[in-house]
Copies of this chain bind each other. A is one copy, B any other.
C-alpha cells in the first residue's frame, strides 16, 4: 500500500466516522481502525482529528463539481438552475451531516481561511454560468457575479440542509421545497419562468 493510498484511506475513513458520529464523538482510534492502519500511522499524515477537515472539504467540493459537470445540462438557464438544485440536494442527502460538520470543523481550527480556497472552484463554476446567462441576456445583466454566486450556493445549500437535516422532510415535501426554491432563484436572477 503506497503513501497516497494510506492518506486516501484515512480521509475516506474520517468521512465515514465523522458522518456517523459527529465531530465531538468521532475518535482517531475509530478512524484508524476503519482505515485498517496503525494508530501511530495517522500522525504521519495528520496532526489531529480536525486537521483532516480541509482534505475532506476538498473531497466534498470535488464531488459537487463532478456532479455539476455530469448532471447539469447545456440547455436553458432555467433547466440548469433546476439541475444544480438537484445535484446539491442529492449530495446533501447522501452526506447529510458532513457539510455542516465541515463548516464547524474548519471554524474550530486554524484552517478557516482555507474555506474560501477550497470553495473557489465551485464559485467559479457558478460565476461562469452567470456570465453566460448575462451574455445571452437571459438573466439580469446588472447583478454582481461574485456575490450572487455565493448567495446562490448558500441559498441552495441551506435549503437542502433544512429539508434533509433539520426538517427531515418527506419526499413530497422536499419536492415542494425544491420547486419553490427553483422559482425563487429564477426570479432572483431575473430569468423568465
Contacts and interface: CB of A to CB of B under 8 A. Distances in A.
Q: Classify chain A: how many residues form its interface, as a range.
A: 35 or more
Nearest to A119: B166
A155 to B, nearest CB: 4
B104 A23 contact: yes
Contacts of A176: 144, 147
Number of copies: 4
A122 to B, nearest CB: 13
Nearest to A25: B108
Interface of A: 22-25, 50, 97, 100-101, 103-104, 107-108, 112-113, 115-116, 119, 140, 143-144, 147-148, 150-151, 154-155, 157-159, 161-162, 165-168, 176-177, 180-181, 183-185, 187-190
